[in-house]
Amino acid sequence: MTQDKVKHRVFLSYSSEQKDAARKIHRELKQAGVDVWFDEEQLVPGLKWDTVISNALDKSSTILLLVGPHGVGQWQNLEIRSALERAVSDSRFNIIPVLMPNAQVDDFPPALRAYQAIDLRDERDHTIQFQRLAASLTANPDTGDHADDEEIGDRLREGGDLSASLPYYKKVLSVSQAKFGDAHPNIARIKRKIGSVRLDMGDLDSAESDFNAALTIDEESYGNQHQTIAANLNNLARVYEYRGEYDRAKVTLEHSLYITRSTLGDATLETATALNNLASVVRNMGDLATAQRYLEEALSITTAIVGESHPDVATRLSNLGGVYHDLGDYETARKYLERALTITKNVYGDEHPIVAARLHNLGTVLSDLGEFEEARKCLEQALHISEAVLGDQHPDVAITLNNLATIYRTEGNYQGALKLYERALRVFEATTGPDHPWTKNARANLNSAKKAAK
């Protein structure tokens, strides 16, 4: 059998003691869109099962080997032997060991220890680790072949697993530079993705460097009035906004919006996104009426194009909720934010960083409505998600810590509030600098809480 006849299919190998776990993984992988060969589903009475299994393994591109606390089973050993033989002759064949709860690396057959394993031993990390597993098994939707590194990086990033996506993008960048040199549009595309990941991880200086590199390459390739230039300017403006350089961000986004309207027209998703981003900056500058106008236009355009259940609609609703919150109309803000949270959970599930952002925003409004217990629950859940996905040194984590501390203080938990304020200030100073408005606000909150606790 030649390699080009092999379909991207995952062969699930497990011992009898791991049958329940195998059923769960099979179900979750199918839900994630992965084509899985699972014996319980495929074997039927009257067939010679060893022949069927051998043929299934031959027609798969990946074997997933579940290893429990008692190592591998008797029949699993045969599958492993076949897989190792296959890997010698087929460089595209993937072997992925999976450490199940209570398993140890020593439980691996020696020949498997050279292969990078997925660790599912800690149930607390199951969601993140499984997302990484599913991403590594992604198929190209057009060809059905195993996805390349860029597609895997995209899947991880979309799932909120930023730190895991970065090595895939860096590998693509290295390969592309060797193939195309340093000034090719493909390099700019990957630089933008790497920059976006770094920005979302709070590494502003590296993100700015990546975005500027992409802008320089694209200006050489497309000129100054291309939509790709608008996208680069939009990315740079996000860095400026994070730093509190609102005037610079506003000018950059106005230029981006002008290019987008000129090249694509007024009623496009790109225009709606540019309006949304510009609204964020003018809101931070205190111009709430203009922010509201931009967001309502963006929401109208977006809904007309993609309907009412799209994540972009949730973004517009959430930002409008923020404006109404700033205007003091807390009930209207709550309605927008609850709609945004519902859409976002339906799209991404419950453990995504965007869900954390929605919970944070809703919790802040609930606090201002005096519903402190519900507000605290929202913010604690947001903090849990953000720390798990972004790490504990991200600006978004610090923002949640700061607001959660305020609720603790309102409830009379001064010591708990002080600890959270101190953590928030440390993160802000490390990521956004001592003079950023967020840092100054956190410092003022901490000093106020210290006086109140005396």
Residue 27, pLDDT score: 87
pLDDT tens sequence across 266-309: 999 999 999 999 999 999 999 999 999 999 999 999 999 999 99
Q: Give all domains of the chain, ordered by start, each with its CATH number.
A: 3-136 (3.40.50.10140), 148-223 (1.25.40.10), 244-307 (1.25.40)
**pLDDT of amino acid 189:** 96
46-63: per-residue pLDDT in tens?
667 778 888 888 888 888
d(CA 116, CA 96): 7
- Write the Ramachandran bin of 140: left for phi over 0, alpha for psi from -120 to 50, otherwise beta: beta
Predicted confidence at residue 89, as pLDDT, reads 86
> What is the per-residue pLDDT for 251?
98
Residues 6+ apart with CB under 8 A from 261: 271
User: Helices 311-327 and 288-306, interaxial angle, to 10°?
Assistant: 160
Q: What is the pLDDT of residue 388?
A: 83
Give residue 142's pLDDT: 59
Q: Tokens representing 36?
A: 């899985």
Query: Residue 355: what residue type?
Result: V
Q: What is the pLDDT of residue 131?
A: 73
Which residues in the chain show pLDDT less than 70?
Answer: 1-8, 43-47, 123-128, 138-147, 160
Q: Give the residue among 353, 351, 352, 379 at the shortest CA–CA distance from 365.
A: 379
